[in-house]
């Protein structure tokens, strides 16, 4: 345990107990931005940083603080922490909190609040952030007494990580941080403050067991459908073993990407609106769908009543509210996915180890689909100027195979999901909320959590401008983050939808008017910048990018009307994709 006696005074305040509790919970980094109501906490932070007990990363906008904490958690499997002041500081966090909630990411958000005697008076920068965030947090606290800080922090960290992970908010009035404590002992709260989360294994009847085993043994076209719960619960090993032993192909959601090697012959890549053709064909024709740690999102299912309509469904998830919310399964197991998978896997192995599923012909069909409908077109690299974005992403994939990748939202996100073969916890993107501006601050959080791993942010010209000020954070802390902007001068996905479904009426999606010179902006932040518009120049800059040990931004001028295919139109089944190219 680190020595947390850091001040030349024996006075213990609410702010002191806050930092002591954070360190007791393993916090090493905090992302935030100071302001009036949270100044007592930042004043205390001064001493803790001086003694190297923890490090605060000064973000340029509070939304980015939440995104950075989110990515810190995703890439390290630890709880991310962010600070903001009251009023606009707190409300600026809302988008980042909602992003974490939608993707089940454990973060603890600490906001300053006006002093207790001013609450409810519409004081300067007073905002009821507790009520504002209720729909987008897992739990919220307003601390009214400094003595409650240890118990609250302990509960918050437990809640953020256990059960279905998610964000927890703690609102601390200004004077609570200043209150002196008569007595302070963190340890007495450890055993008394945890909420009771029961991760029950609901496989209670022999009849249910027999039915599940029977469905597996009789299946000729089974399919594993895996979501972000695989990563959040550290169930990757079980999924990989399960898929290999029983020779079941596997498709992942956008959030489940990284849980399985995309180059494996059993891998089908992502399914859904911009998923691979072979994944969408497989889910449309499977006879047994094993849905693990996923929620049947509309971008995955397409027309819901035609999603895996010929299949029996087994759904495993920690959140009972997800069972039958969108698709009613024939069988369901509720609980911690790692625990469930371990027990379920052992049961299957005992009962089916000598009766491998009959998937040989199924895998042959899938192999034919892969050959007929590849994601990457053969002629993509014949273009010399205004590069094809698929070519760019594919070159990055070949050159930077061990990097942590973060993305913003839009066409570049979908191309990255289709073409990057990422490792566990090295694919960070906003899935459920689809937050433009997530990419750059999330690369900061990922780099801080994984300082020695290469970190690459892939963004679009429109998304990048949502959080462009975070170049200042990268510059200040000399973070070796590589940024690749696919610049087509449009809100790319919006333009594609306007072309496909709105009669080519490009209402307010054209971005070239007023588009900045990203290379010059990077240079102004003391970050190396480059602008490329040819294949040869891109290859040169990509090679330099890998060799450099400092931040670099490359703007790649791409085709402005390239569309992201395949695509399942809204209201259509997954098998009715547009833009398919036959190889």
- The H or E element containing residue 113 is strand 107-113
Considering 273, 466, 493, 577, which one is annotated as catalytic? 493
Backbone angles phi, psi at 580, to 5 degrees: -70, 140
Residue 321: active-site member: no
124 is catalytic: yes
Active-site hit among 124, 382, 478, 539: 124
**107, 70 Cβ separation under 8 angstroms:** yes
Q: Are 28 and 49 in contact (CB under 8 A)?
A: no
Please report the beta strands in 162-266, taking only residues with DSSP state E, as ranges in sequence order: 168-173, 222-226, 250-252
Which is nearest to 54 in space by CA: 25, 23, 33? Answer: 23
Active site residue 307: no
Judge contact between 555 and 485, C-beta under 8 A: yes
Active site residue: 44, 62, 541, 562, which one? 62
Work out whether the CA dihedral 210, 213, 218, 223 comes out positive or negative: positive
Q: CB atoms < 10 A from the CB of 58, how many?
A: 14
Give CA separation, 347 vs 238, 339, 340, 341, in Å. Answer: 13, 12, 11, 10
Going by C-alpha positions, the residue among 485, 466, 555, 476 that lies closest to residue 519 is 555
Q: Which of 28, 51, 125, 453 is catalytic?
A: 125
Burial class of residue 534 (count of CB atoms within 10 Å of its CB; 0-12, 13-18, 19+) = middle
**Which of the following is catalytic: 138, 151, 174, 535?**
174
Nearest C-alpha neighbor of 419 from the set 461, 463, 388, 384: 388
Checking DSSP bridges between strand 312-317 and strand 331-334, what pairing results, if any?
Answer: parallel
Please give the positions annotated as active site.
62, 124-125, 174, 493
């Amino acid at each position: 345990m680190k020595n947390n006696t850091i001040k030349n005074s024996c006075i213990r305040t609410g702010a002191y107990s806050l930092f002591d509790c954070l360190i007791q919970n393993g916090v090493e980094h905090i992302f935030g931005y100071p302001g009036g109501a949270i100044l007592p906490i930042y004043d205390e932070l001064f001493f803790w940083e001086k003694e190297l007990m923890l490090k605060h990363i000064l973000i340029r906008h509070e939304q980015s603080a939440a995104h950075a904490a989110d990515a810190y958690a995703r890439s390290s499997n630890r709880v991310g922490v962010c600070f903001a002041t009251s009023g606009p500081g707190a409300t600026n966090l809302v988008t980042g909190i909602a992003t974490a909630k939608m993707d089940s990411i454990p973060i603890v958000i600490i906001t300053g609040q006006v002093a207790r005697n001013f609450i409810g008076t519409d004081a300067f920068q007073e905002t009821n952030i507790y009520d504002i965030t209720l729909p987008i947090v897992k739990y919220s606290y307003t601390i009214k007494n400094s003595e409650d800080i240890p118990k609250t922090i302990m509960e918050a960290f437990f809640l953020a990580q256990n059960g279905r992970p998610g964000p927890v908010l703690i609102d601390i009035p200004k004077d609570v941080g200043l209150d002196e404590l008569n007595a302070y002992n963190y340890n007495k709260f450890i055993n008394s403050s945890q909420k009771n989360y029961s991760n029950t294994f609901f496989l209670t009847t022999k009849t249910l067991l027999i039915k599940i085993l029977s469905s597996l043994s009789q299946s000729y076209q089974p399919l594993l459908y895996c979501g972000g719960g695989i990563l959040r619960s550290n169930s990757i090993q079980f999924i990989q073993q399960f898929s290999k032993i029983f020779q079941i192909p596997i498709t992942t959601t956008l959030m489940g990407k990284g849980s399985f090697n995309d180059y494996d012959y059993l891998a089908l890549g992502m399914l859904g609106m911009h998923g691979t053709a072979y994944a969408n064909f497989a889910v449309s024709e499977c006879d047994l769908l094993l849905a693990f740690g996923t929620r049947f999102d509309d971008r995955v299912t397409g027309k819901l009543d035609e999603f895996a309509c010929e299949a029996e469904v087994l759904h495993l998830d920690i959140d009972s509210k997800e069972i039958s919310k969108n698709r009613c399964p024939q069988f369901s197991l509720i609980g911690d996915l790692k625990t469930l998978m371990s027990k379920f896997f052992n049961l299957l192995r005992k009962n089916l180890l000598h009766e491998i599923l009959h998937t040989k012909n199924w895998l042959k069909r899938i192999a034919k689909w892969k050959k007929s409908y590849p994601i990457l077109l053969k002629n993509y690299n014949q273009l010399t100027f205004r590069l094809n974005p698929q070519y760019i992403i594919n070159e990055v994939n070949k050159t930077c195979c061990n990097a942590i990748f973060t993305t913003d939202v839009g066409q570049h996100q979908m191309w990255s999901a289709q073409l990057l073969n990422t490792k566990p916890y090295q694919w960070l993107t906003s899935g459920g909320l689809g937050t433009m501006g997530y990419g750059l601050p999330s690369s900061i959080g990922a780099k801080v959590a994984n300082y020695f791993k290469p970190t690459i942010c892939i963004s679009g010209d429109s998304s990048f401008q949502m959080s462009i000020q975070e170049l200042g954070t990268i510059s200040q802390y000399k973070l070796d983050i590589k940024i690749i902007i696919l610049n087509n001068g449009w809100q790319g996905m919006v333009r594609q939808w306007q072309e496909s479904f709105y009669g080519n009426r490009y209402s307010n999606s054209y971005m070239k008017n007023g588009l900045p010179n990203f290379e010059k902006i990077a240079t102004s932040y003391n970050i190396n910048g480059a602008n490329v518009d040819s294949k040869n120049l891109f290859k040169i800059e990509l090679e330099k990018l890998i060799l450099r040990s400092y931040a670099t931004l490359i703007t790649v001028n791409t085709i402005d009307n390239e569309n992201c295919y395949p695509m399942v139109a809204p209201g259509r089944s997954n098998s009715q994709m547009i833009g398919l190219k036959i190889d």
